[in-house]
Structure 1
Amino acid sequence: MLKELNELAEGAGELKPGSGLVTGVIALALAFLCFLGVLAFLFPEYLTTPELRRSYNVETVRTIMFIAMVVAGGLSLVNVLFNRSRWLSAFAFLLVALTALLGGHKVPVNDFADNTPYIGLDWFILDLLGSSLIFIFVEKLFALRKDQPVFRPEWQTDLHHFIVNHMVVGFILLATNLLVHRLFGWAAADGIQAWVRDLPFVAAVLLILLVSDFVQYWTHRAYHEVPLLWRLHAVHHSAKSMDWLAGSRQHILELLITRTLVLAPIFVLGFSKEVIDTYIVIVGFQAVFNHANVSVRLGPLRYIIVTPNFHHWHHSQDKEALDRNYAAHFAFLDYLFGTAVKSTKLWPERYGVLGDYVPNGFFKQLKFPFTWKG
């Protein structure tokens, strides 16, 4: 069983319909997330994010977990009974059974300390479940490259980045908050913050997006134009396929630097929690959607808003696209500063770093900026 699971995890390509592989993979994914969920229930002080746990509706989480266990258990049991991908489905069923034995969706949550070190297991579960359910479906409905499978080449590397960058969310938040307060605390002014807080909600959201994107534009441009910073950013550009998971490929040092610089003006201007929460949702959606394998251009709006088409060009190896399209939210910034792609083609042909010199594999990419002789 372990041999077959390892072969599946290391492989790539389309899952053959009718063999039970599709339902088996769905069952295994849900079973694995349920198992992680029960661990988060058992050890919330160490495995959940304080900012998230304060806003949870525990009963809703329990209901979602129960439904996922039923679906995973049902799919895996049917496959086992009809001899369809038995090895995969049997492992999924064992995970569901183990989750149930550990308490499943009924694990009680008692009082616990709120200031312990933690990893963001809950954030990883929610984001992976939400992103995969939404964007895999959207990519199948509006696929740009219709022959690109869900498990395309190098998906394992991007999943490793996704896992690590989500698990260390606590470290990232702590480090960025510390850096922002230490480096930019002097710039906070009560008058400016009061003016920002008095803005209408929609105006404040547009302002926070514009301010953060202005900073991100120049930070992103620096990653391309400063050789030392390109060593970090080349990891993100090494993805040869674009889909909902590709945006997760990001060196952790780049993540720390970018978040610190983008959060600085947000802290200095004093946006309200509601505005920041809305900004986080929009950023999260755009970061995934604009890397997705979807054929979306939005007509004339693409000159104002960053779309998948706009950002796909940024990841292209095509000569006219190199070091172009830096904005994350507002495409007009690139048109304003003269860095927008100009091409007669609708979509780029190839993705990745020109010369393909970044190695594949999470740990190799973690070391790459410090070992590359280029």
Structure 2
Amino acid sequence: MEKYLDIIVKSYTGYWNYLKYELIDIYHWDNYFYGLIIISLVVWGLEIAFPWRKDQSIFRKDFWLDTFYMFFNFFLLNLIVLIALSNTTAEFFNDILGFFGWHVDSLQVFDVDELPRWLGLLLFFLITDFVQWNTHRLLHRVPCLWNFHKVHHSIKEMGFAGHLRYHWMEPILYKSLQYIPIAIIGGFDAQDVAIVYFFAITIGHLNHANVGWNYGPLKYILNNPKMHIWHHAKQLPSHLKYGMNYGLTLSTWDYLFKTDYIPHDGRDIELGFEDDHKFPKTFLKQSIYPIKTDL
């Protein structure tokens, strides 16, 4: 137990020092803090220049709530819980493997350092995105998980910052399920992760933005605003009662596994879920809603 407490303490101090470095050093290209701000401003600018729903306000419904979620989930949440949880989970997993005489390195199928860099990055991206797609499906199919995911689906007007409106439980689930497949590959450095991260954030922002794009032939590869708005549709088709268009970055998984659904231009469809008018409207009440509901 003392070992785990030491990991938690070191995780907090390490991430705090890292966050201070991110705020001060604006000149390294893989700065997550300013990278997120730049991507957000660019996509917001595209919303303003090319609005799909022309009567939607620039400061749409819940704009500031979603902006708070954006910074809380990607920076404060890491400081409060995720880094410490991730590090202790990794150590706990290693301890379990050690009990059987194994180590996480023994699970590694291959090392991406042995591959061309572009191929290693592609494999890393495809595997993480596929795990995220399956995790997203779980959030819709398992009732207790759906209560957490309702926070994201409480969006009533789509905009770029809505991408990052989600309950703090979701990244815990995503990161936990990603750990083993990423450990099996191994060999990634921080810059590799940053490349994939910034690409995924850009596509995710665009998916939720007020722009009417589908990227032409690339719509079968990349998730897009005209596809993702149907994922947020309040009225679900009878043959997809748990939802559709689960892709985060790639749309390919939905086309492969027949969970794609784009019946027509969804620009003006109603968003949300059944009885969403009863759902809490503030950050704190949305945070405790799933816990109260599942008790």
TM range (shorter): 0.7 to 0.9
Using the TM superposition, give the Cα deviation of residue 167 of structure 1 relative to its aligned residue in structure 2, in angstroms.
Answer: 1.7
Matched, 1:246 2:162: yes
Q: Which has the larger radius of gyration?
A: 1
Partner of 2:87: 177
Alignment of 1:322-361 (within 5 A): 323-345=243-265, 347=267, 349-356=269-276, 357-361=278-282
Paired residues of 1:180 and 1:260 also in contact (CA < 8 A): no
The corresponding residue for 1:363 is 284
Q: Residue 133 in 1 paired to residue 41 in 2?
A: yes
Quick one: structure 1 residues 219 and 316, their matched pair in 2 at CA, closer, same or farther if it must change by over 3 Å? same
Give the counterpart letter for 2:77 in structure 1. Answer: V
Runs (5+) with no aligned partner, structure 1: 1-44, 62-121
Partner of 1:150: 58
SS of equivalent to 1:245: helix
> Are the aligned partners of 1:157 and 1:360 in contact in 2 as well (CA < 8 Å)?
no
Alpha carbons 1:177, 1:260 under 8 Å: kept: no
Deviation sequence 1:28-48 (CA, Å, 0-9, x none): xxxxxxxxxxxxxxxxx8995
Aligned CA-pair RMSD: 2.9
Match of 1:206 in 2: 122
Other-structure match for 1:260? 176
How many Å separate the matches in 1 of 2:264 and 2:77?
42
- The answer to whether 1:168 aligns with 2:69 is no
| Alignment match, 2:216 | 299
- Maintained 8 Å contact 2:35/2:198: no
**Alignment coverage as a number of residue pairs:** 267
Q: Is the 8 A contact 1:325 1:331 kept in 2?
A: yes
Task: Considering Cα pairs closer than 8 Å and 6+ residues apart, tell me whether 1 or 2 has the greater RCO.
Answer: 2
Residue identity opposite 1:326 in structure 2: Y
* Aligned partner of residue 234 in structure 2, secondary structure: coil
Task: Describe the shift of the 1:344–1:145 C-alpha distance in structure 2 as closer, same or farther (beyond 3 A).
Answer: closer
Deviations 1:167-192 (A, max 9, x none): 23233223223324433664543762
CA distance in 2, matches of 1:351, 1:289: 17
Q: Quick one: percent identity of the two aligned structures?
A: 28
Secondary structure of 1:290's match?
A: helix
> Does the 8 A contact of 2:163 with 2:204 survive in 1?
yes
> Deviations along 1:331-355, whole A, 9 cap, x unmatched?
1211111211141335461212232
Structure 2, unmatched stretches of 5+, are 1-12, 98-102
Give yes or no for contact 1:237–1:353 (8 Å, CA) kept in 2: yes
**Structure 1 residues 53 and 267 mapped into 2: Cα distance closer, same or farther (>3 Å)?**
farther
Who is 1:226 aligned against?
Answer: 142
Pairwise CA distance, 1:306: 1.2
1:95 paired residue number:
none
How much does 1:278 deviate? 1.4
Q: State the SS of the aligned residue for 1:193.
A: coil
Q: Are residue 53 (structure 1) and residue 10 (structure 2) matched?
A: no
